Amino acid sequence: MDTGVRAMRLRLAGAVLLSAAAYYVYLPLPSGVSEPWKLMLLDALFRSFLQASDAAHSLGVCHRVHLLNQVVSWVEVIEARSCAAVHVTDSTLGGVPTRVFQPKEGKQLKRGVLYFHGGGWALGRMRSYDRLCRKMAEDLDAVIMSVDYRLAPEAVFPDQYHDALAASRAFLSSQVLERYGIDPHRVCVSGDSAGGNLAAAVAQEVENTHTHTEAAGGKQCFKAQALIYPVLQALDFYTPSYQQNQAVPILYRPIMARFWLQYLGADSSLEPLLLANNHSSLDQPAISASARSKLDWTALLPPKRRKHFRPVVKETGSPGVMGEVPELMDVRAAPLLAEQGVLGRTPKAYVMTCEFDVLRDDGLMYVRRLQDAGVAVTSDHYEDGFHGCMVFAFLPMMSSVGQRSMNNYIHWLDQNL
């Protein structure tokens, strides 16, 4: 075959493959999202992993989450490695595996942050979390403890919550505070996404337990809670942010419903019912008017966030869902449902939200409810942000909004802890 013809065919094949790749990667995104091509590439990678895991699950090879975590372990998980500025070790808190980041220099008595990673209560800690915690330890001259709580599907609610609570109580114990040289008056609980859920839940429990034991000598409590795009409720999948961002990566609306069902140990066949809000219809006797008011976004969100969207509340739905999954109403799983008195006893808060995130309104409603309960709250909203952006503050997927959000988060901790 003529060399010129062969070269032309190779160029044509390359052009076809490049076009196919571009078609797979390209996704229409809102005009305001930060660095859309980076998000498209990240989403294409994530979709590939999801599709492969779904195929493996359907064929009975393994659970979809197992394959995702295997991929994470291949490319993301790293051993505890110290550097010139930070000593990194693996330990346990209350029997829960925990990675500890300790500055080698600085003040003798340091601040402390207990951190719960995100991942839908199912995916393990990634390399980016180690980088985040290492930077926090160095910039804040603080001891950072990153908790490896148990994961779905082997562990389901309340296992993850119990791990988070056990780690929190151990972190606040005099033995741990003294061992690591942590100032007992400068401690914070924090987390992102599902980790933000766990941080909010244990902040409620620890602070209310502390209130009830003060007369008996008192217990140590958190000075602050810092929640990064937290997931806080599963009764309404039609908040304005769920409607606006249902097709925006990397957390699609159906994926969040799937994560919830895995976390609560429920049948995955219920996903369409959750996505239709059939589980929270008006004929559900388990959901009181008081409970509905705690996530009434028509009252809790400002007009700028409500926009033109309308509530989706079914008159009649699927009455068996709440009986099958009563955990949907458990405040330990859904901290937004807490009573105002409980919220009022929690520490001052930082809540990060992103405009292009299905969970935006979970965080904004929690801000409003905390404020109504008398808690000092810093609401840090990113108009160009997307779910998970803060952990993409490092190479190879470094994003502008990731760097800005991480730096502002660390600055808030520095000023308030």
**Active-site residue numbers?**
193, 357, 387
Torsion of CA 53, 54, 55, 56, to 10 degrees: 50
- Give CA 328 to chain center in angstroms: 17
Q: How far apart are the C-alpha atoms of 364 and 351, rounded to whole Å?
A: 8
In angstroms, the CA 12 to CA 413 distance is 54
SS3 107: coil
Q: Which of 21, 164, 167 is nearest to 94 (CA)?
A: 167
Token readout for 57 is: 């699950």
**Segments in 284-332 forming alpha helices (H):** 289-293, 297-300, 303-306, 320-324
For 297, the token pair is 């976004």
Which residues sit opposite 87 in a β-bridge? 102
Residue 4 belongs to what H/E stretch?
helix 3-25
For 286-299, letters b (16+ CB in 10 Å) and e give: ebeeebbebbebee
Counting DSSP H helices and E strands in the chain, the numbers are 17, 8
Paired sense of beta strands 142-147 and 96-103, if any? antiparallel
Backbone conformation region of residue 121, classed left if phi is above 0, alpha if psi is from -120 to 50, else beta: left
| Cβ neighbourhood burial of 106 (10 Å; 0-12, 13-18, 19+) | middle
Is the Cβ–Cβ distance between 282 and 314 less than 8 Å?
yes
